[in-house]
């Protein structure tokens, strides 16, 4: 039986009070709907269909990399109506796995068991027991424990409301059966909607066993209806990621104050201080330490690197044993060899810096290639932009750049050259010698500082 995964994502998300479609709100850095798609795709290679409505174009654009077919549900007339829109694209012989775009933490292992139940009887249903079942559809069972139907809370009587087993909405049903039942749905209920859940009673009446499956973790089936629930899921998700990292040998000084919004591959004995945010794809080598308050995005950090407090690192590579910060900013295209030092209030962009070179204080290094063993003095600026184009600066091995130097690109500093403090370098500086530009110093005899007149 071929598997088709159908994700319902047409709901308005009114309670988010947002101009962004609900399924595009982010959890751990990714749109809610992307989490669901990833879980589905891990099942193997299922056909993926997504029913969209509100904000459809934006949703499709945001998930352009997901290999799905998109189906519009122009009017949201209920979950049954949403499924009906997709049925023409699904052959009778398929097994249809129905997921919700706003229930992001669903796990692949749980989905596998749900699919197995669907294959076994034609109808698998994911349910869970909740202490507080308010708002959910309740599972009805007969005296033998067989599922006989689902009643929505708004349609339930008092006895039914006391039932704690609820419908998560996730099911795996044979397409041919689904088609037959969906065609018979009515909307004569409290919400005037076509309820997908009504197919459960139809299955039971035909003697088809609705086989229930429980999630591994109750958070897997929690939906996002408002920003409070979104924040609660974010915390849960972050806690799980932090625990996984700690199990791999990473020290998190406070797992509650660490946020991973992407993927982190970290070696043993990496130590991460509080309030660090990791985004995109990041690798950190063994024994490296990240100070408090750093933001690291799409970066490769070698072994034994020390990143001191409050650095922002994006699109950069940092070689073994380097020391960065505090308060440094590494921008995309930065590649630092081993043993480099980048100090406080230094910005580096689209530049390579060789083994053991140092830029320790208050400098801007942009579009520059620096060799090995170079020392760049405080307040050095590479003037890489002439207002129209960017130009490169080259600083060869063992050069020494005096403080407060401006290097007006394109320009080259030769091997072993020394540039005097305060130089504005507009032409290449030769190897080994001192080059400087400096206005002559003078003192003005008899000069008096102006004073305020007394009245
Ligand atoms: C639904 C279930 C309820 C279950 C609960 C679990 C029905 C009738 N009820 O209720 O038994 O306990 O989920 O969270 O199915 N959607 C569409 N098009 C529509 C309506 C909804 O695509 O016309 C999508 C929504 O975007 C959402 C999902 O279907 O992803 C569920 O819809 P929602 O309105 O939240 O259903 P509930 O009332 O919560
Ligand atoms: Ca809901």
* Ligand 2 center–CA 13 separation, angstroms: 9
Q: Where in the chain is the domain with CATH 3.90.550.10?
A: 3-221
pLDDT tens-digit series, residues 195-239? 999 999 999 999 999 999 999 999 999 999 999 999 999 999 999
Question: Which ligand 1 atom sits closest to the C-alpha of 225?
Answer: 35
**What residue's CA is closest to ligand 1, atom 26?**
11
Question: Which ligand 1 atom sits closest to the C-alpha of 198?
Answer: 8
Tokens of 91: 């052959």
Local structure of 247: helix, strand or coil: helix
Question: Which ligand 1 atom sits closest to the C-alpha of 12?
Answer: 26
298 burial (CB, 10 Å; 0-12 / 13-18 / 19+) is middle
Task: List helix spans (H) across 162-279.
Answer: 175-182, 198-205, 227-247
Q: Where in the chain is the domain with CATH 2.160.10.10?
A: 251-435
| Ligand 1 site-directed mutation target among 5, 74, 169, most atoms within 8 Å of CB | 169
| Ligand 1 site-directed mutation target among 6, 7, 11, most atoms within 8 Å of CB | 11
Local structure of 362: helix, strand or coil: coil
Q: Is 361 a catalytic residue?
A: yes
Q: How many CB atoms lie within 10 A of CB 312?
A: 18
The 3-state DSSP composition of the chain as helix, strand, coil percent (nearest 5) reads 20, 30, 45
pLDDT tens-digit series, residues 271-296? 999 999 999 999 999 999 999 999 99
Give the per-residue pLDDT at 71: 96
Q: Does ligand 1 come within 6 angstroms of the Cβ of 365?
A: no
CA-to-CA separations, 196 to 170, 191, 201, 378, 443, in angstroms, rounded = 11, 13, 11, 68, 89
Q: Which fold has domain 251-435?
A: UDP N-Acetylglucosamine Acyltransferase; domain 1 (2.160.10)
Give the per-residue pLDDT at 46: 78
User: In the predicted model, is pLDDT for residue 421 greater than 80?
Assistant: yes
Q: What percent of the chain has pLDDT over 70?
A: 100
pLDDT-derived band of residue 1, with 50, 70 and 90 as boundaries?
confident
Alpha carbons 353 and 337: distance in angstroms, whole number: 6
Alpha carbons 83 and 7: distance in angstroms, whole number: 9
Alpha carbons 392 and 401: distance in angstroms, whole number: 16
Identify the architecture of domain 3-221 in CATH.
Alpha-Beta Complex (3.90)
* Ligand 2 center–CA 270 separation, angstroms: 40
Question: Which ligand 1 atom sits closest to the C-alpha of 103?
Answer: 30
pTM: 0.91
**What is the mean predicted confidence (pLDDT) over 23-51?**
95
Q: How many CB atoms lie within 10 A of CB 17?
A: 8
CA-to-CA separations, 35 to 32, 226, 373, in angstroms, rounded = 5, 17, 46
**What is the mean predicted confidence (pLDDT) over 56-64?**
93
User: In the predicted model, is pLDDT for residue 384 greater than 80?
Assistant: yes
**What residue's CA is closest to ligand 1, atom 13?**
169
Q: Does ligand 1 come within 6 angstroms of the Cβ of 79?
A: yes
Local structure of 16: helix, strand or coil: helix
Q: Does ligand 1 come within 6 angstroms of the Cβ of 166?
A: yes
DSSP sequence for 90-148: S-TTSEEEEEETT-TT--HHHHHHHHHHHHHHSEEEEEEE-SS-TTSPEEEE-TTS-EE
Alpha carbons 11 and 425: distance in angstroms, whole number: 62
Give the per-residue pLDDT at 11: 84
Q: Which ligand is nearest to the CA of 195?
A: 1
């Amino acid at each position: 039986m071929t598997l088709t995964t159908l994700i319902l994502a047409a709901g308005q998300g009114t309670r988010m009070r947002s101009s962004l479609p609900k399924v595009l709100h982010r959890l751990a850095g990714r749109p809610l709907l992307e989490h669901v798609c990833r879980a589905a795709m891990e099942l193997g290679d299922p056909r993926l269909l997504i029913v969209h409505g509100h904000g459809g174009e934006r949703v499709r654009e945001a998930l352009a990399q997901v290999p799905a077919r998109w189906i519009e549900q122009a009017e949201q007339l209920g979950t049954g109506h949403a499924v009906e829109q997709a049925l023409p694209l699904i052959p009778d012989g398929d097994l249809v796995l129905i997921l919700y775009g706003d229930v992001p933490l669903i796990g692949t292992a749980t989905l596998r068991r749900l699919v197995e139940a669907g294959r076994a009887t034609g109808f698998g249903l994911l349910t869970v027991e909740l202490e507080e079942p308010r708002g959910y559809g309740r599972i009805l069972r007969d005296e033998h424990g067989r599922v006989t139907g689902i009643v929505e809370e708004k349609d339930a009587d008092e006895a039914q409301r006391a039932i704690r087993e609820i419908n998560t909405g996730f099911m795996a049903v044979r397409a041919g059966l689904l088609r037959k039942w969906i065609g018979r749905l009515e909307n004569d209920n409290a919400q005037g909607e076509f309820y997908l859940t009504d197919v459960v009673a139809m299955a039971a009446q035909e003697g088809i066993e609705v086989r229930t499956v429980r999630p591994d973790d109750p958070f897997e089936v929690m939906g996002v209806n408002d920003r409070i629930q979104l924040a609660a899921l974010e915390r849960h998700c972050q806690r799980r990621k932090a625990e996984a990292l700690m199990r791999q040998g990473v020290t998190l000084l406070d797992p509650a104050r660490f946020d991973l919004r992407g993927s982190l591959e970290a070696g043993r004995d990496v130590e991460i201080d509080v309030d660090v945010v990791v985004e995109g794809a990041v690798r950190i080598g063994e024994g490296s330490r990240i100070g408090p308050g750093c933001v690291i995005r799409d970066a490769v950090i070698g072994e034994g690197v020390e990143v001191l407090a409050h650095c922002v690192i994006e699109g950069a590579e940092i070689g073994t044993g380097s020391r960065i910060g505090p308060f440094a900013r590494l921008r995309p295209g930065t590649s630092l060899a081993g043993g480099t030092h980048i100090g406080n209030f230094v910005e580096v962009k689209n530049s390579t810096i060789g083994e053991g070179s140092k830029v320790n204080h208050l400098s801007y290094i942009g579009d520059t290639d620096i060799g090995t063993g170079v020392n760049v003095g405080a307040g050095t600026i590479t003037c890489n932009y002439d207002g129209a184009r960017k130009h490169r600066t080259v600083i060869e091995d063992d050069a020494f750049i005096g403080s407060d130097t401006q290097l007006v690109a394109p320009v080259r500093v030769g091997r072993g050259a020394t540039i005097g403090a305060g130089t504005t370098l507009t032409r290449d500086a030769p190897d080994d010698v001192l080059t400087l530009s400096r206005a002559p110093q003078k003192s003005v005899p008899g000069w008096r500082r102006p004073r305020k007149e007394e009245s």
